Amino acid sequence: MNCRKLFSDIVVGSLVMGLGTLALAQPDLEAAREVERALELTPDINNGRRVYTLCTVCHRPEGWGSADGRYPGIAGQLSGVIIKQLADIRARNRDNPTMRPFTSPQLFGGAQEIADVVSYISQLPMDPNNTVGPGMDLGHGERLYRENCVDCHGDQGQGDETDQIPLIQGQNYPYLMRQFQWILNGRRRNSDPKMVRQIKGFSPRDISGVMDYVSRLRPPADKLAAPGWLNPDFPKYAR
């Protein structure tokens, strides 16, 4: 056996594996740096209103997304959560081909624009009439939520700003269903590994039941929009 060649092959193989690991880690690092920069900046909510014009195309002026779940409600979401998701999409750490062009630095800007628009989005009142599930298995869904979700998302789905865990109360049921499926099958690549492990054995009934229950978790009254509210910052927007 040629020991020198064997040693060389091992070294080269290790380097290739190491480079592959670095390549996989790069989006995480890039996104983490942008999150850190955005969190350190003082947001300008007036500029955030201007930047949000780009977002109204899909998320609508009110930030409530679409009832069919194609676009999520983002109004009232925790600031740190929105910053992380924007940074992940920009770094391609989260696949979102529809949204990525809108968040490109050439169109959207940098960390300051992220901080600004997030300050605007997070203070928007939430949809008082989000889409809920069929209501057929809520007892089962509540039990699963209490057993699996409370520790991170909170008893009312309020999330956690410090740990950048999303607020999920008041979200549209179809969107919750789709994202849960994507987390389960690995399509949403920036998912919390702990959650991926925890939901691995969920059946279709489990998923529908728990997401139906989540869709009915109500935000506090002071976070909800008044009946008939329309965003006055975009009065000429076609409704």
Give 6's pLDDT tier (boundaries 50, 70, 90).
Answer: very low
Q: Note the pLDDT tens digit of each residue in 13-55.
A: 433 334 344 444 677 888 999 999 999 999 999 999 999 999 9
Q: Note the pLDDT tens digit of each residue in 81-108.
A: 999 999 999 999 898 989 989 999 999 9
What is the pTM (predicted TM-score) of this model? Answer: 0.86
Q: State the chain's mean pLDDT as an integer.
A: 89
All domains of the chain in start order, with CATH: 28-125+226-239 (1.10.760.10), 138-223 (1.10.760.10)
Angle 192-196-199 from CA coordinates, rounded to 5°: 135
Non-local CB neighbours of 18 within 8 Å, separated by 6+ positions: none
Q: What is the residue whose two structure tokens read 């209501």?
A: 135
Give 239's pLDDT tier (boundaries 50, 70, 90).
Answer: low
CA distance 151 to 189: 22
CA distances from 220 to 77, 120, 122, 128 (A): 13, 19, 14, 10
Q: What is the residue whose two structure tokens read 């500029």?
A: 47
Return the CA Rg of the chain: 21
Range with lowest mean pLDDT among 16-30, 125-139, 156-170, 213-227: 16-30
pLDDT at 28: 84
Give 9's pLDDT tier (boundaries 50, 70, 90).
Answer: very low
Non-local CB neighbours of 118 within 8 Å, separated by 6+ positions: 38, 43, 48, 79, 82, 83, 86
pLDDT at 236: 76
3 pLDDT higher than 80: no
Q: Which two tokens stand for residue 204?
A: 């279709």
| DSSP class per residue in 10-27 | HHHHHHHHHHHHHHHHHH
CA distance 96 to 154: 27
CA distance 171 to 74: 8
Average pLDDT of the residues in 109-113: 97
Q: Note the pLDDT tens digit of each residue in 166-222.
A: 999 999 999 999 999 999 999 998 999 999 999 999 999 999 999 999 999 999 999
Q: What percent of the chain has pLDDT over 90?
A: 81
pLDDT at 25: 60
CA distance 118 to 74: 10
Contact 215, 177 (CB under 8 A): no
Contact 62, 123 (CB under 8 A): no
